[in-house]
Structure 1
Amino acid sequence: MATWRGVSVVVLLLSGVIGVGCGAAEGEDVSAVGEVSAALESAAYGGPQPCGPSARIVGDVRRGEEGSAPETLVEVAGQVFYAANDGVSGRELWVTDGSATEARRVKDVRPGAYGSTPRFLTRMGGRLFFVADDGAHGPELWLSDGTEKGTVLVADIRRGAQGSAPDALTVVGSRLYFTADDGVRGRELWSTDGTAKGTLLTQEFAPGPASLYLDDLTEWNGKLALVAYGDAVTLWVVEGRTGSSRALFRGQEQSVVFSLTPAGKDRLFFLVDVGFGEADLWVTRGQPFLTFPLRHFAGDYPSELTPLGSAVYFMAGAEGFFGEPGDLFHGGELWKSDGSLLGTRLVKDVRPGPEGSLPSGLTVLDGRLYFAADDGVHGRELWSSNGTAQGTVLVQDVEPGPAGSTPTAFAVLDGWLFFSATTAGRGREGWYSNGDPGRVDPMRDIAPAGMDANPHGFVRAGGSVLFIATDPAQGEEPWALPFLPAARCARLEP
């Protein structure tokens, strides 16, 4: 059937049903064009893969060992945006295309050496939204299509140099939600469609100049979930279409609600600390009477709640920050919950005893969970799980012996897992795997002589996987690894 789907796409292309040119037509969604191009490439050549181990630097933005210290690589319509400091313009917005051969400054939003300090880079549709300070309006919401002309202030919510300081940018459908302070109503919930006219106050949780602390904004099946702190803590859900809101959970003033995690079609998991430094796992299905606790966890908070299918996986049972006892039998191990009391259970005791394997970096690839864990024998290495004890296995002992390679910075891109790991003589460098047991391969060293390149922030754009890494001679800059179908990899020069 896969072959026939590929043929069908080619037939549509030849018949003119799908049009492909050198660029998007005016008003066309460039992200959709990118998706069609990716589909055509996959149909013609097969799925992408790393083209060997060698990565190259993407435009040495700031010459010398200091580097431009790039932050937050975000792919939008085949381009990768990030904030960087070239040493002249201060920290501004930069971009590179899918060829990843060079980088350019998008716009000098705040001329001079200070820079506009772009942050909270967020993709919505084919545009990038971010917060920046141009020196006149203060921190406000901006958007960019990757051109200087198309990089503009969305709305001046708070007049003057203080700015409204938008925070917690969260996409729900075709609107971007965030918190902001307009100087009159305090910090409240706002949303925008990318225009000044379409930038609106969505909900005033505390009428008047006072405001509640709004936290953990989370997209949930076309709705926005968030937590509001005042005299009590409340979990709210805001309908994406109507903007109407309702409370799903209320706790006492000293309570904390956090780690909102959607899973499946209708479940939202979250954690509640009622004020004793430990947490209960809760679940809601969208109504107060369908909101209930699942299990109490002693010691440290459960962490890294990660959805897989209709269940959520997490680490729980570890000792608390101040030495509070956790699970005395298993320690910190991998757990899962399907939203029921009986379905909230330990997946596997990877390291028997109270210390536990302390799984971290939970990431999903092709229906399996990948994570780092220490079984007490191999050190901290790459593991995977299908949700059963028997199906929870060591993927590869990258650094043999008890020290382990300590994998971090996991990212899944088109069926491949990218991460960084430390090995003797090489330091911390980049690695990748297609998930098969024993199929974990290293990238070529970026930092020489066993120094740490510390690659992280992996994203894909066009025919490259881009990431941030440090070469002692060039400092911290973006790098790119060719990532193409096998037939196209073979045509690259060695």
Structure 2
Amino acid sequence: MAAWRGVPIVVVLLSGVIGVGCGAPEGEDVPAGGEVAAALEPEAAGGPQPCGPSARPVGDVRRGAEGSAPEALVEVGGQAFFAADDGVSGRELWVTDGSATEARRVKDVRPGAYGSTPRFLTRMGARLFFVADDGVHGPELWRSDGTGQGTALVADIRPGPQGSAPDALTVVGGRLYFTADDGGRGRELWSTDGTARGTRLTQEFAPGPSSLFLDELTEWNGRLALVAYGDAVTLWVMDGSTGTSRAFFRGPEQSVVFSLTPAGKDRLFFLVDPGFGEADLWVTRGQPLFTFPLRHFAGDYPSELTPLGNAVYFMAGAEGFFGEPGDLSHGGELWRSDGTLPGTRLVKDVRPGPQGSQPSGLTVLDGRLYFAADDGVHGRELWRSNGTAQGTVLVQDVEPGPEGSAPMAFAVVDGWLFFSATTAGRGREGWYSNGEPGRVDPMRDIAPAGLDANPHGFVRAGSSVFFLATEPGQGEEPWALPFLPAARCAFVEP
């Protein structure tokens, strides 16, 4: 398997690797159990907590069972923004702070039924930035403070109805970087401070009307890392304060560079497929001369690279997309790398044998890693790890038996882990946990009679945790769960 993956449009699948032992090498910076477990439980510290059964809808944006298909809940200034289609104005920008019973449309950017289709919602400072098409300027960059008057076009980069189609919005310091096509120089790198005057071409990678494919824009300790595809594939790192850029990695044209993941103060991990359908894990320590490969992974791509301290965790060892063998001893399991060769290792063989536990949903809470995995006994359930084999344990068997509850849609909100899980009689509904074994609790059963509400997109804004869920009578709409000190939760109606 080779050529089809050696293109610059990357779909990161699962993973692949040859297994090694579970023990941590001497001197490796594995977080100590006491260090990562030191945080007080949120309720013990007097902090807010979920008021479990009290979730309520915050607006039937589109009346009827079809729902408004909301997406991209983003918190800005204590409000939750999202794009939705009310069936009359088309897809536009909406907002809620949970205090009102109904969400409100921020502005009808494109009057009529077609809608402006807001996308790539991104917070920078106290404002929301997004791409929208008002029917006059084409898809361009917009900003909003949550009011109609404060929602405006940032800059008309490409005059006319075609628009510059900004993409890959990425905040670095006080500037928003993105790619755009101004109609004369092709798609290049731009940035803005949120004003028309402060919007400028940052770097022209291919002078003239031609352009390179720019991908993987990533903030890295105040700098911007990105991948450019042309005659060669190059990992660039740009310093916005000096306006300089340097190449940290170059590969042949058929290679793919993806999953850029900063960890710690100076480490940037990434994956490289040289064009053969398998990936190598690389790291750079902040200088081109200190950029090197760590390990080749057979089978499928490593997936879900997740930083924790100075290390990165990921799933690797799974069978390839077309059945290519991965780790024949362990299968897909949890791995960890601290950026050194001996420190790139299997964390634990959760499910012994070649099938593997297939960890997914890797999420960090209070210095520990949480994820879903199937140990072959309990089914797919919630696990946690402190980076050692001994500290990798089942949190709770939410649905006893070999099927498991298949937790997913993980999100961390101020010391709490939110996710969805499936149980008999309730279907897929919302759950939350403070991360301790046995401390997993259900949210309201939104879709009755065992139907699936599929809650996801959990984000805190003000005194509520907002999420998207489906109730049969109103379709998919935004919901809010009060997030208050325990004493105040007692006065919230379920």
TM-score between both structures, scaled by the size of structure 1: 0.90
Task: State the partner residue of 2:274.
Answer: 274
Q: Find the aligned partners of 2:45 and 2:387 in 1 and give their Cα distance.
A: 33
The alpha carbon displacement at 1:238 in A equals 0.7
Q: Does the CA-based 8 Å contact 1:49-1:486 persist in structure 2?
A: yes
Q: Does the CA-based 8 Å contact 1:298-1:325 persist in structure 2?
A: yes
Corresponding letter in the other structure for 1:236? W
The alpha carbon displacement at 1:487 in A equals 2.2
Task: State the partner residue of 1:60.
Answer: 60
Q: Does the CA-based 8 Å contact 1:45-1:485 persist in structure 2?
A: no
Name the Cα RMSD after superposition.
1.3
The alpha carbon displacement at 1:492 in A equals 2.7
Q: Find the aligned partners of 1:243 and 1:478 in 2 and give their Cα distance.
A: 41
The alpha carbon displacement at 1:59 in A equals 1.1
Task: State the partner residue of 2:396.
Answer: 396
Q: Find the aligned partners of 1:288 and 1:367 in 2 and give their Cα distance.
A: 30
Task: State the partner residue of 1:466.
Answer: 466
Q: Does the CA-based 8 Å contact 1:68-1:85 persist in structure 2?
A: yes
Task: State the partner residue of 1:254.
Answer: 254
Q: Find the aligned partners of 2:97 and 2:230 in 1 and give their Cα distance.
A: 45
Q: Find the aligned partners of 1:370 and 1:461 in 2 and give their Cα distance.
A: 23
Task: State the partner residue of 1:235.
Answer: 235
CA deviations over 1:1-56 (Å, ceiling 9, x no partner): xxxxxxxxxxxxxxxxxxxxxxxxxxxxxxxxxxxxxxxxx999921101132310
The alpha carbon displacement at 1:97 in A equals 1.2
Report whether the alignment pairs 1:309 with 2:296.
Answer: no
Task: State the partner residue of 1:126.
Answer: 126
Q: Which has the higher contact order (CA 8 A, sep 6+)?
A: 2
CA deviations over 1:60-98 (Å, ceiling 9, x no partner): 111100011101000001000000000000000000014
1:80-479 to 2 correspondences below 5 Å? 80-99=80-99, 101-479=101-479
Q: Find the aligned partners of 1:43 and 1:306 in 2 and give their Cα distance.
A: 27
Corresponding letter in the other structure for 1:357? S
Pair 65,56 (structure 1): closer, same or farther in 2 beyond 3 Å: same
Q: Find the aligned partners of 2:45 and 2:361 in 1 and give their Cα distance.
A: 32
Q: Does the CA-based 8 Å contact 2:453-2:470 persist in structure 1?
A: yes
- Is the partner of 2:409 in helix, strand or coil? strand
* Richer in helix (by share): 1
Task: State the partner residue of 2:487.
Answer: 487
Q: Find the aligned partners of 2:489 and 2:399 in 1 and give their Cα distance.
A: 29
Of stretches 91-100 and 120-129 in structure 1, the one that deviates more from structure 2 is 91-100
Q: Find the aligned partners of 2:254 and 2:473 in 1 and give their Cα distance.
A: 50
Q: Find the aligned partners of 2:184 and 2:439 in 1 and give their Cα distance.
A: 58
Q: Find the aligned partners of 1:493 and 1:374 in 2 and give their Cα distance.
A: 37
The alpha carbon displacement at 1:269 in A equals 0.1
Corresponding letter in the other structure for 1:223? R
Corresponding letter in the other structure for 1:375? D
Pair 66,483 (structure 1): closer, same or farther in 2 beyond 3 Å: same
Q: Does the CA-based 8 Å contact 2:54-2:492 persist in structure 1?
A: no
CA deviations over 1:98-125 (Å, ceiling 9, x no partner): 4363210000000000000000000000
CA deviations over 1:278-298 (Å, ceiling 9, x no partner): 000000012111000000000
- Is the partner of 2:116 in helix, strand or coil? coil
Pair 345,137 (structure 1): closer, same or farther in 2 beyond 3 Å: same
- Is the partner of 2:74 in helix, strand or coil? strand
The alpha carbon displacement at 1:243 in A equals 2.1
Corresponding letter in the other structure for 1:202? T
- Is the partner of 1:228 in helix, strand or coil? strand
Corresponding letter in the other structure for 1:364? V
Q: Find the aligned partners of 2:45 and 2:234 in 1 and give their Cα distance.
A: 51
- Is the partner of 2:289 in helix, strand or coil? helix
- Is the partner of 2:216 in helix, strand or coil? strand
- Is the partner of 1:488 in helix, strand or coil? helix
Q: Does the CA-based 8 Å contact 2:95-2:106 persist in structure 1?
A: yes
Of stretches 481-490 and 273-282 in structure 1, the one that deviates more from structure 2 is 481-490
Q: Does the CA-based 8 Å contact 1:45-1:487 persist in structure 2?
A: no
Of stretches 104-113 and 238-247 in structure 1, the one that deviates more from structure 2 is 238-247
Corresponding letter in the other structure for 2:331? G
Of stretches 238-247 and 314-323 in structure 1, the one that deviates more from structure 2 is 238-247
Corresponding letter in the other structure for 2:441? D
Pair 182,263 (structure 1): closer, same or farther in 2 beyond 3 Å: same
Q: Find the aligned partners of 2:486 and 2:323 in 1 and give their Cα distance.
A: 51
Of stretches 103-112 and 48-57 in structure 1, the one that deviates more from structure 2 is 48-57
Q: Does the CA-based 8 Å contact 1:110-1:133 persist in structure 2?
A: yes
- Is the partner of 2:489 in helix, strand or coil? helix
Corresponding letter in the other structure for 1:294? L
Q: Find the aligned partners of 1:254 and 1:339 in 2 and give their Cα distance.
A: 26
Task: State the partner residue of 1:76.
Answer: 76
The alpha carbon displacement at 1:323 in A equals 0.3
The alpha carbon displacement at 1:448 in A equals 1.1
Q: Find the aligned partners of 1:399 and 1:487 in 2 and give their Cα distance.
A: 30
How much identity, in percent, do the aligned residues show?
Answer: 88
Corresponding letter in the other structure for 1:297? F
Q: Does the CA-based 8 Å contact 1:100-1:480 persist in structure 2?
A: no
- Is the partner of 1:95 in helix, strand or coil? strand
Task: State the partner residue of 2:17.
Answer: none
The alpha carbon displacement at 1:242 in A equals 2.0
TM-score between both structures, scaled by the size of structure 2: 0.90
The alpha carbon displacement at 1:444 in A equals 1.7
Corresponding letter in the other structure for 1:398? V
Corresponding letter in the other structure for 2:316? A
The alpha carbon displacement at 1:240 in A equals 2.2
The alpha carbon displacement at 1:493 in A equals 4.1
CA deviations over 1:221-251 (Å, ceiling 9, x no partner): 0000000000010000010212211100000
Q: Find the aligned partners of 1:203 and 1:493 in 2 and give their Cα distance.
A: 55
Q: Does the CA-based 8 Å contact 2:98-2:480 persist in structure 1?
A: no
Q: Find the aligned partners of 2:404 and 2:372 in 1 and give their Cα distance.
A: 10
Q: Does the CA-based 8 Å contact 1:99-1:463 persist in structure 2?
A: no
Q: Does the CA-based 8 Å contact 1:100-1:464 persist in structure 2?
A: no
Q: Does the CA-based 8 Å contact 1:300-1:320 persist in structure 2?
A: yes
- Is the partner of 1:289 in helix, strand or coil? helix
Q: Does the CA-based 8 Å contact 2:43-2:485 persist in structure 1?
A: no
Corresponding letter in the other structure for 1:307? P
Q: Does the CA-based 8 Å contact 1:99-1:462 persist in structure 2?
A: no
